[in-house]
């Protein structure tokens, strides 16, 4: 429950602090005094979006702080534990709204995010006002009322998860199939390119250079043979060759070295020259013998080189670049195969998820069908207690795969027949403002137990009602306050009389500025305030007597 809230510099409120208690807390005051601002402050604490426009004129920031008592193992208790807050200390939420839009959220004195705030406050309090009237008029929200009543929220939330998983899978499949279609257009070309490069077996990145050298030799084989044999003959083979001449010189130097040792060094040199000439001559002879003059080999080398040149024109300037291109298109080909595999995997997963969705949705639908009649009966009973004695409420549940959405396979119409002889019609077409207020209260009463909220807040619960209907509305709100803390803003004494605690909100003017204040009324002051609500500013003794009597009735 909300134990205390303080508000600073929010709209016409400069600085107030309110200590709420168990039971029914009534807030009254003149129109424009700031009652709705207090509700806005509570909504901010519960996670509503902050707006710098709400800051009091002349101030740079506004601040709202609230202290909650948290029940052990309640949803808020569990969420606090999950986010490393100690719920045993209670829950303190502080929001600072800055004019520069750099707003801040603190939970138990620690800076926090809006997401964490919403998680913790989700089940703390329920605010019922004009917004809830609009929610009730929107048929797509009807199923949530039924699920709250039947305690089916957790099952619906599981279906929501599956539904969004299916949606995500469908989007992924759509994207993958689109990729596959685009790939298919170039896959035939990729397959041809891969096969052409694979067949070439380009393993050696220098093969083209080596082939060019080999081709040059093959084309000039006869010239190379003639040149090498001629040189070999002059150096080594024919009479009077260089080898013969060097051999003659060597013999003469041998004779000379026997006479003069100085010639030994020349002899050594000539012997070396003779060996080199002989070796060169033999090498050239062997070279000539090894030259390939095979025309078939020439044709094969020419063909191979032509193939590589053709591939270079298509796929890269070098063999390395051709192989890099091959690697790229192989990745594309693998990507296509992986895409096909992934599509199959997603399709299988989608089939399983859809099966799970429909099985879960059908189970939930059966529970909703059995609960819809109970909701009908309970709301009918409740609105009849609120001075609509002949009204009938209907919860028409339609089920089928055509209604498939994140809530399951059901569509709920809420209908009402306010008076005898009238056909049931949708609430949006039939209910007046006062009837809407009573319907909201009836639904709130029916679903309060399963809402898991410790505080229920009513803003304008008395809209469009009066007389006996107002009295019955007060009784219903009072009954709700037996099981939850209730904070109720009202203009009607018939409702205010039921309060366990009564706060009066007024605005005054100081130094040409509006200032809102709030006072918890004593029993005597409370009589005066009820009397004011009955008769206006001029309070008569009769009004005071009526007020005292009303309060006594409300206490019963």
User: Residue 527: which pLDDT band, with cuts at 50, 70 and 90?
Assistant: very high
Closest-CA residue to 346 (of 338, 336, 335): 338
pLDDT of residue 129: 60
Per the structure block, which two tokens stand in for 354? 């859809």
Indicate the range of 162-171, 183-192, 370-379, 496-505 predicted with least confidence. Answer: 183-192
Closest-CA residue to 311 (of 297, 296, 326): 326
* Beta strands at 110-112 and 485-489: parallel, antiparallel or unpaired: unpaired
Percent of the chain with pLDDT over 70: 96
pLDDT tens digits along 253-289? 888 888 888 888 988 898 899 899 889 888 888 888 8
How crowded is the C-beta side of 316, counted as CA atoms within 13 Å?
16
Most confident of 304-308, 327-331, 360-364, 517-521: 360-364
Domain 1-124+453-519 has CATH 3.40.50.300: yes
Percent of the chain with pLDDT over 90: 26
Give 504's contacts (C-beta < 8 A, 6+ positions apart). Answer: 28, 29, 518, 519, 521, 525, 529
Per-residue pLDDT for 186 more than 90?
A: no
101 φ/ψ sector (left φ>0, alpha ψ -120 to 50, else beta): left
Q: How far is CA 136 from the centre of its chain?
A: 28
Q: Model pTM?
A: 0.66
User: Residue 135: which pLDDT band, with cuts at 50, 70 and 90?
Assistant: low
Cα-based distances in Å from 412 to 143, 144, 231, 373, 499? 6, 9, 109, 12, 36
Give 208's contacts (C-beta < 8 A, 6+ positions apart). Answer: 305, 308, 309, 312, 318, 319
Indicate the range of 56-70, 209-223, 312-326, 354-368 predicted with least confidence. Answer: 209-223
User: Residue 189: which pLDDT band, with cuts at 50, 70 and 90?
Assistant: confident
Per-residue pLDDT for 506 more than 80?
A: yes
User: What would the mean pLDDT of 32-57 be, rounded to a whole number?
Assistant: 86
Per-residue pLDDT for 133 more than 60?
A: no
User: What would the mean pLDDT of 372-378 be, rounded to a whole number?
Assistant: 90
Q: Where are the domains of the chain?
A: 1-124+453-519, 206-317, 521-556
User: Residue 145: which pLDDT band, with cuts at 50, 70 and 90?
Assistant: confident
Backbone angles phi, psi at 89, to 5 degrees: -85, -5
pLDDT of residue 528: 92
What is the rounded average pLDDT for all residues in the chain? 86
How many angstroms separate the CA atoms of 453 and 114, rounded?
Answer: 20
């Amino acid at each position: 429950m909300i134990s205390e809230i303080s508000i600073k510099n929010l709209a016409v409120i400069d600085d107030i602090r309110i200590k709420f208690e168990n039971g029914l807390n009534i807030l009254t005051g003149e129109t424009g005094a700031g009652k709705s601002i207090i509700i806005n402050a509570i909504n901010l604490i519960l996670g509503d979006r902050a707006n710098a426009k709400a800051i009091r004129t002349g101030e740079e920031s506004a601040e709202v702080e609230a202290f909650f008592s948290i029940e052990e193992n309640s949803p808020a208790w569990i969420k606090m534990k999950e986010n490393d807050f100690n719920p045993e200390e209670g829950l303190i939420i502080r929001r600072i709204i800055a004019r520069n839009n750099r707003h801040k959220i603190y939970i138990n004195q620690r800076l926090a995010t809006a997401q964490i705030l919403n998680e913790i406050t989700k089940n703390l309090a329920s605010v019922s006002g004009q917004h809830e009237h609009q929610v009730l008029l929107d048929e797509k929200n009807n199923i949530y009322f039924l699920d709250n009543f039947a305690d089916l929220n957790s099952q619906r939330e599981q279906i929501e998860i599956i539904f969004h998983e299916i949606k995500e899978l469908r989007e992924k499949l759509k994207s993958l199939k689109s990729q596959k279609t685009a790939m298919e257009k170039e896959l035939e070309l990729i397959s041809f390119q891969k096969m052409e490069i694979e067949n070439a077996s380009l393993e050696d990145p220098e093969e083209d250079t080596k082939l060019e050298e080999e081709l040059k030799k093959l084309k000039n084989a006869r010239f190379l043979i003639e040149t090498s044999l001629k040189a070999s003959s002059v150096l080594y083979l024919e009479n009077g060759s260089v080898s013969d001449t060097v051999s003659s010189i060597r013999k003469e130097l041998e004779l000379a070295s026997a006479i003069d040792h100085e010639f030994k060094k020349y002899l050594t040199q000539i012997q070396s020259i003779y060996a080199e000439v002989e070796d060169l001559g033999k090498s050239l002879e062997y070279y000539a013998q090894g030259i390939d003059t095979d025309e078939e080999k020439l044709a094969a080398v020419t063909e191979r080189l032509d193939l590589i040149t053709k591939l270079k024109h298509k796929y890269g300037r070098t063999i390395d670049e051709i192989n890099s291109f091959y690697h790229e298109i192989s990745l594309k080909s693998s990507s296509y195969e992986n895409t096909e595999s992934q599509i199959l995997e997603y399709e299988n997963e989608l089939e399983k998820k859809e099966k799970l969705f429909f099985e879960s949705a059908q189970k939930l639908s059966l529970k909703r069908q059995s609960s819809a009649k109970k909701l009908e009966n309970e709301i009918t009973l409740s609105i009849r207690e609120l001075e609509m004695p002949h009204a009938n409420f209907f919860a028409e549940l339609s089920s089928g795969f055509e209604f498939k959405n994140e809530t399951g396979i059901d569509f709920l119409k809420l209908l009402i027949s306010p008076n005898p002889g009238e056909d049931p019609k949708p609430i949006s077409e039939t209910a007046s403002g006062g009837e809407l207020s009573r319907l909201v209260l009836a639904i709130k009463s029916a679903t309060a137990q399963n809402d898991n909220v410790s505080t229920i807040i009513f803003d304008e619960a008395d809209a469009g009602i009066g007389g006996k209907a107002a009295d019955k509305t007060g009784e219903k709100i009072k009954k709700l306050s037996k099981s939850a803390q209730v904070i109720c803003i009202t203009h009607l004494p018939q409702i205010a009389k039921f309060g366990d605690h009564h706060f009066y909100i007024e605005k005054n003017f100081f130094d040409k500025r509006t200032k809102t204040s709030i006072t918890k009324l004593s029993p005597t002051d409370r009589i005066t305030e009820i009397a004011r609500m009955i008769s206006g500013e001029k309070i008569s003794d009769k009004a005071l007597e009526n007020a005292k009597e009303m309060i006594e009735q409300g206490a019963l």
